[in-house]
Amino acid sequence: MSFQRQLHLEKISGSLFLFGPRMTGKTFLLRRLQPALFIDLLDPETELSFSRSPVIFWEKLQALHKKDLVIVDEVQRVPVLLDYVQKGIEEIGLKFILSGSSARKLRRRSANLLGGRALDLRLYPLTHVEIGKNFDLEMALAYGTLPRVVTTFLEGKEDDVRRQLKAYGIIYIKEEVQAEALTRNVSAFQRFLSVAAQMNAETIEFASVARDSSVPMSTVKEYFSILEDTLLGDFLWPWDRSERKKARPKFYFFDCGVVRSLQNRLVDPPTPQEKGFLFETFFYNELKRLRDYHEKPYEFSFWREGKQEIDILVTGPRGPIMAFECKTSLETVSDATRSAFRKRFPKVPLFIASSKEIHPRKLDHDVMVLPWRQAVDTFLG
Domain harbouring 170, CATH code:
1.10.10
When pLDDT is averaged across residues 325-349 and rounded to a whole number, the result is 91
Q: What is the pLDDT of residues 172-192, one digit of tens each?
A: 887 777 765 567 788 999 999
Q: What is the pLDDT of residue 178?
A: 73
Residue 92: the pLDDT is: 97
Give the pLDDT band (50/70/90) at residue 11.
confident
pLDDT of residue 71: 97
Examine the domain organization and report whether 102 and 195 are in the same domain.
no
**How confident is the model at residue 315, as a pLDDT?**
97
| 86 and 199 assigned to the same domain | no
- Least confident interval from 25-29, 37-41, 66-70: 25-29
Give the domain range for residue 169.
Answer: 128-235+246-271
Per-residue pLDDT band at 112 (split at 50, 70, 90): low
pLDDT of the residue at 353: 97
Given CA atoms 235, 240, 243, 247 in this order, what sign does their dihedral have? negative
Total domains in the chain come to 3
pTM score, two decimals? 0.93
Q: How far apart are CA 94 and CA 71, in angstroms?
A: 11
The verdict on residue 198 lying in a domain is yes
pLDDT of 225 strictly over 50: yes
Same domain? For 50 and 105 the reply is yes
Q: Which residues of 296-311 are buried (b: 16+ CB within 10 A; e: fewer)?
A: eebebbbbbeeebbbb
pLDDT band at 64 (very low <50, low <70, confident <90, very high): very high
**Across 103-132, average pLDDT:** 77
**CA atoms of 203 and 248, how far apart (whole Å):** 6
One domain for residues 32 and 161: no
Do the domain assignments include residue 284? no
248-276 pLDDT per residue, tens:
899 999 999 999 999 999 999 999 999 99
97 three-class SS: strand
Predicted confidence (pLDDT) at residue 244 exceeds the cutoff of 60: no
Cβ-count burial 212-238 (b if 16+ within 10 Å, e if not)? bbebeeebbeebbebbebbbbbbebbb
Q: What is the pLDDT of residue 33?
A: 92
* pLDDT at 321 > cutoff 50: yes
The widest CA-to-CA distance across the chain, in whole angstroms, is 68
- The residue ranges of DSSP E strands in 123-268, in sequence order, are 233-236, 250-253
Shared domain for 57 and 147, answered yes or no, is no
Q: Is residue 285 part of a domain?
A: no
The proportion of the chain whose per-residue pLDDT surpasses 70, expressed as a percent, equals 94
pLDDT confidence of residue 108 = 59
Looking at the structure, tell me whether residues 114 and 41 fall in a common domain.
yes
Same domain, yes or no: 361 and 335 = yes
pLDDT, position 102: 77
Residue 277 domain-assigned? no
CATH code: domain of residue 118: 3.40.50.300
The rounded mean pLDDT for the chain is 91
Please report how many Cα atoms fall inside a 13 Å half-sphere around the Cα of residue 56, on the Cβ side.
11
The least confident of 98-102, 106-110, 177-181, 226-230 is 106-110
Q: Are residues 17 and 104 in the same domain?
A: yes
* Residue 298: φ, ψ to 5°: -110, 150
Q: Among residues 122, 155, 184, which one ends one of the domains?
A: 122
pLDDT the model gives residue 110: 45
Q: Do 111 and 147 fall within a single domain?
A: no
pLDDT at site 366: 85
What pLDDT shows up at residue 335?
87
What's the distance, CA 75 to chain centroid? 19
Domain CATH number, residue 323: 3.40.1350
C-alpha distances out from residue 320 to 133, 186, 294, 312, 341, Å: 33, 41, 19, 11, 12
Q: For position 365, what pLDDT does the model report?
A: 80
Is residue 289 domain-resident? Answer: no
